[in-house]
Amino acid sequence: METFTEAKALVENPHYAHDWRVALAALDLAAVDEPIVDIISAFATLPHGFTLQCCWGHFVRAPDQDPRTLDVVPVGYVGPVRYRIAYLALSVENSGRGRALLESLRALTAIDPHYVQFGSPDWFLRSWTNSYALQVEPDRFKTRDEAMIAGAEALHVQETRDAFFTELRKLVTRQQRARA
């Protein structure tokens, strides 16, 4: 599946409030990867952005391993890894708070510009106006939802993913405080 396209400009969405309610009603936290449930729950409190999909990112080292494994890549591992991308997709309201959120999300690419991308995946835009996604993926594979990488690079991706979600957690906490 193609995952990355350049970010599109925000447009007016007269149906945003309805879309927000529909998305929140459909939110199933039991389907969210456990390490990021708190982030998705926090986003659900924001009226100017809502999540569409997410993934913690999975490092599959064996053919029979669960593709949704939460196992980490062991230090020193040198074999191949099938990496299934970490990402957060959301729809943002075209408002002052929404624009501020969007710029804060875009800034997260500074964690590692060769491994963190910000864009507007077409397959979300077909259903949700003002859709954006942040993903953690080696730049050369940024248009794919998984990639085969070597163990050393997998360790780097894992560290980047962890830093990404740490910063995303801080970002959504700041957004909640600003709203209070």
Q: Taking the CB of residue 146, how many other CB atoms lie within 10 A of it?
A: 17
What is the pTM assigned to this prediction? 0.95
Residue 140 lies in a domain: yes
The predicted structure's pLDDT at residue 126: 86
Residue 2 lies in a domain: no
Both tokens assigned to 127: 């259903």
The predicted structure's pLDDT at residue 123: 79
The predicted structure's pLDDT at residue 116: 98
**Cα distances (angstroms) measured from residue 124 to each of 93, 132, 152, 176:** 15, 8, 32, 25
The predicted structure's pLDDT at residue 82: 98
How many structural domains compose the chain? 1
Distance separating alpha carbons of residues 78 and 94, to the nearest angstrom: 46
The predicted structure's pLDDT at residue 3: 64
Residue 130 lies in a domain: yes
The predicted structure's pLDDT at residue 180: 64
Q: What residues form DSSP beta bridges with 144?
A: 2
Segments of the chain with pLDDT less than 50: 1
Distance separating alpha carbons of residues 4 and 20, to the nearest angstrom: 23
Distance separating alpha carbons of residues 91 and 15, to the nearest angstrom: 12
Residue 70 lies in a domain: no
Domain that holds residue 124: 16-54+85-146+154-179
**Cα distances (angstroms) measured from residue 174 to each of 39, 46, 142:** 12, 11, 28
Distance separating alpha carbons of residues 73 and 168, to the nearest angstrom: 22
Residue 42 lies in a domain: yes
Residues with Cβ < 8 Å from 51, sequence gap 6 or more?
A: 23, 27, 40, 43, 44, 88, 89, 90
Residue 102 lies in a domain: yes
Residue 62 lies in a domain: no
